[in-house]
Amino acid sequence: MGLEETVTGDGVLIDSSSGPDSYVQTSTSTRQDGTTATTTVTTYFTETRTTNKWYGLTESAVTGYQTANPTKVAKGSLVYPVTGGWEMEVETKTRTDFYVTVSVRTEPPA
């Protein structure tokens, strides 16, 4: 069996995880009357990560895929130096089920 010159199909799913996550953005401003307002925006979401793997590729298949998919995290490695066989892993991350909370805290002038 020869090495594949192009990356085809979905590869083999080797890892998958899903769970809740969040990030916070905070900004502080001072109003004309000297009152300080701190606004906190928290974004919650579900993040799913999958890793797929392809076997028996050529180096040009890996670099061709990376060039054609610059936004994907695609890592190739030479695993069979004698035959020139490469493997490649691609990680995909998706975020869904977003919801946002906003809180504002004010403090009087010092």
Note whether residue 32 is domain-resident. Answer: yes
| Extended beta strands in the chain, E state | 12-30, 36-57, 73-80, 85-107
Q: List, for residues 19-71, the tens digit of each pLDDT value.
A: 999 999 999 999 888 899 999 999 999 999 999 999 999 999 999 999 999 99
- Residue 83 covered by a domain: yes
**In which band, very low, low, confident or very high, does the pLDDT at 108 lie, cut at 50, 70 and 90?**
confident
In a domain, 28, yes or no: yes
Instruction: Name beta bridge partners: 16.
Output: 50
Domain range enclosing 98 = 12-104
Total structural domains within the chain = 1
Q: Flag whether 51 is in a domain.
A: yes
Asked if residue 16 belongs to a domain, the reply is yes
Tell me the three state secondary structure of residue 10. coil
3-state secondary structure of 41: strand
At 4 the pLDDT is: 93
- The answer to whether residues 11 and 90 touch, using CB atoms and an 8 Å cutoff, is yes
Q: What is the pLDDT of residue 45?
A: 97
Residue 61 in domain: yes
Please give the Cα distance from 78 to 57 (Å, whole number).
Answer: 9
Does 100 score more than 90 pLDDT?
yes
Sign for the pseudo-dihedral over CA of 54, 55, 60, 63: positive
Within a domain: residue 110? no
Asked, for residue 78, whether it belongs to a domain, the answer is yes
Measured distance CA(97)–CA(46) in Å, rounded: 6
